[in-house]
């Protein structure tokens, strides 16, 4: 059994029928899914989907940097309310994005800092979205006092030095479709150096479709392709990789 630790079945355009995508994933051997929020409304929808499928589907609640232009206290209260629920296994995705320009650096910083402030209250892991902003995000995390919950660097795309600093913070690493791309030798080599007990697999669907389905919209049922890609990067069998990553996800998120 595999765990898709990061998917966006709450994206209503991409997944008009999320329950069907869940059934399809189950048939493909994906037995647990975590639906990730990007703002208050999408986080509430993630929880709704999760609570229709107890002990199979889980949710996160958080405010993504690309949506940080609309960040406000009322919305943060809605995220805090969701964090109390049992189906919500992490805060996120939160972070920084210097690739896109949907929110200014100041707006992104404000959303990130406010959410880091509430994180410790819940003792649940934090899922980070970080694009072309690893030095700034890691600097911010290194400046924090000890005792924060575990950090997950979702869809990790940093370099070896950033990986070293992320590990020193107790970080975990999400591996996605790019591990299957022909031109991703550097990523495969880097991932092979990471401690195996810190690796997770995720589709990030509907984005980041793995090879050889790249002409299609990504979905949780494609997770086995990512598992195979990671297995070959690590030089282990698909079964061993499934056991490894499922064990990691179960431990980190406290899944049944």
Which residues contact Zn ion (rule: CB under 5 A)? 204
Chain centroid to Cα 74, Å, comes to: 24
Least distance (Å) between residue 195 CB and Zn ion? 23
d(CA 60, CA 183): 32
Least distance (Å) between residue 236 CB and Zn ion? 26
Q: Cβ distance 66 to 107 under 8 Å?
A: no
Q: Which is nearer to Zn ion, 122 or 207 (CB)?
A: 207
Least distance (Å) between residue 237 CB and Zn ion? 28
Q: Which is nearer to Zn ion, 42 or 234 (CB)?
A: 42
Q: Which is nearer to Zn ion, 4 or 204 (CB)?
A: 204
d(CA 222, CA 30): 9
131, β-bridge pairs: 97
Where do the H-state alpha helices sit in the chain?
Answer: 18-27, 40-52, 73-83, 105-119, 134-142, 160-168, 185-193, 223-234, 238-253
Least distance (Å) between residue 92 CB and Zn ion? 8
Q: Which is nearer to Zn ion, 39 or 204 (CB)?
A: 204
């Amino acid at each position: 059994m595999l765990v898709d630790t990061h998917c966006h079945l709450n994206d209503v355009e991409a997944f008009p029928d999320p329950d069907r995508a869940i059934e399809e994933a189950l048939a493909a051997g994906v037995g647990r899914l975590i639906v990730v929020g990007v703002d208050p409304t999408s986080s509430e929808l993630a929880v709704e989907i999760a609570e229709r499928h107890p002990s199979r589907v889980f949710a996160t609640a958080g405010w993504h940097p690309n949506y940080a232009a609309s960040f406000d206290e009322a919305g943060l209260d809605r995220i805090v309310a969701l964090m109390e629920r049992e189906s919500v296994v992490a805060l996120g995705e939160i972070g920084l994005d210097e690739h896109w320009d949907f929110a200014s650096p100041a707006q992104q910083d404000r959303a990130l800092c406010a959410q880091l402030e509430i994180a410790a209250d819940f003792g649940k892991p934090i899922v980070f979205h970080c694009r072309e902003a690893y030095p700034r995000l890691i600097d911010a995390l290194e400046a924090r006092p000890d005792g924060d919950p575990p950090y997950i660097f979702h869809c990790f795309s940093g370099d070896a030095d950033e990986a070293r600093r992320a590990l020193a913070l107790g970080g975990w690493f999400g591996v996605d479709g790019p591990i299957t791309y022909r031109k991703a030798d550097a990523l495969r080599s880097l991932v092979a150096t990471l401690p195996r007990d810190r690796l997770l697999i995720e589709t990030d669907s509907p984005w980041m479709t793995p090879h050889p389905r790249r002409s299609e919209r990504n979905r949780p049922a494609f997770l086995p392709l990512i598992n195979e890609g990671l297995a070959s990067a690590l030089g282990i069998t698909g079964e061993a990789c499934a056991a490894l990553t499922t064990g990691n996800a179960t431990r980190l998120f406290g899944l049944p």
